[in-house]
Amino acid sequence: MSIFCSLQFPDTAGYVGFANLPNQVHRKSVKKGFEFTLMVVGESGLGKSTLINSLFLTDLYPERYIPGAAEKIERTVQIEASTVEIEERGVKLRLTVVDTPGYGDAINSQDCFKTIIQYIDNQFERYLHDESGLNRRHIVDNRVHCCFYFISPFGHGLKPLDVEFMKAIHSKVNIVPVIAKADTLTLKERDRLKRRILDEIAEHGIKIYQLPDADSDEDEEFKEQTRVLKASIPFAVIGSNQLIEVKGKKIRGRLYPWGVVEVENPEHNDFLKLRTMLVTHMQDLQEVTQDLHYENFHAV
């Protein structure tokens, strides 16, 4: 029996699953809605937009223009922030996804880092400004609470660009490393790549987001879930914008000549674990942003 069978991942078919957020947050913020900003970084073509659309069951980029190769050479990284309001069972989430198209295409990676770092700093700056202003009660929190860093499944670990970039932002934002397009890896390759990435992260002193241990008074199920989530980092995920019929049920997946890879099947990839991590740790990600990264920003 697979170890996943005993896990209590919510049946997320058709919903994201943040409706339990009120348990985590103060009532006031529930009324006003929950604000969260997620940044996605990684070379273009790694499946970032597809994964984001799969995660939030919405098309965040309906009018995105995909540049050709010739244009890419000219490009510097751009920042694209899209905000959607999602409501589930009366709970509102105002989600902003900050995408960084052009990352890795720019010839000068330093320029590319600068734009992204500038964006993160600008949000801190704005928050600081609003916090000291008169209208403190209605501050919109646009600080970047989490950064999914997409790693290519085709390399043998982290590329020098990955190392350099993660080090440039690790004291500013919570980094969650993600292996893209995990369907291109066999189980053995996936495990080897995960180990290699973790070793390199440690070797280079890169600080990634640390999932907090479950409190001792939490129930066993939650503790087990936390253990499994921790053991899955870096999450090896797949995304798809397509619904495929499998045994009479429409599921999100990728159809290959030999079968279907199911996005929301924990035996096929870590997509559900990534989503569970995000949804159950939104508040912690915000607190770490406030207590650690925002404080770091203050200190300089």
Nearer CB in complex with ligand GDP: 47/177: 47
Nearer CB in complex with ligand GDP: 49/289: 49
Question: Min. distance of Cβ 213 from ligand GDP in angstroms?
Answer: 30
Nearer CB in complex with ligand GDP: 59/88: 59
Q: Which residue has the tokens 């050479």?
A: 73
Question: Min. distance of Cβ 97 from ligand GDP in angstroms?
Answer: 11
Nearer CB in complex with ligand GDP: 113/150: 150
Question: Min. distance of Cβ 47 from ligand GDP in angstroms?
Answer: 3
Q: Are 236 and 271 in contact (CB under 8 A)?
A: no
Question: Min. distance of Cβ 77 from ligand GDP in angstroms?
Answer: 12
Question: Min. distance of Cβ 40 from ligand GDP in angstroms?
Answer: 8
Positions that interact with ligand GDP (CB under 6 A):
44-50, 181, 183-184, 238-239, 254
Question: Min. distance of Cβ 37 from ligand GDP in angstroms?
Answer: 18
How far is residue 216's CA from residue 79's CA, in Å, rounded to a whole number?
41
Nearer CB in complex with ligand GDP: 182/228: 182
Nearer CB in complex with ligand GDP: 104/157: 104
Question: Min. distance of Cβ 201 from ligand GDP in angstroms?
Answer: 21
- Closest residue to ligand GDP, Cβ-based? 47
Nearer CB in complex with ligand GDP: 169/288: 169
- How would you write the chain as a 3-class SS string? CCHHHHCCCCCCCCCCCCCCHHHCCCHHHHHHCEEEEEEEECCCCCCHHHHHHHHHCCCCCCCCCCCCHHHHHHCCCCCEEEEEEEEECCEEEEEEEEECCCCCCCCCHHHHHHHHHHHHHHHHHHHHHHHCCCCHHHCCCCCCCEEEEEECCCCCCCCHHHHHHHHHHCCCCCEEEEECCHHHCCHHHHHHHHHHHHHHHHHCCCCCCCCCCCCCCCCHHHHHHHHHHHHHCCEECCCCCCEEEECCEEEEEEEECCEEEECCCCCCCCHHHHHHHHHHCHHHHHHHHHHHHHHHHHHC
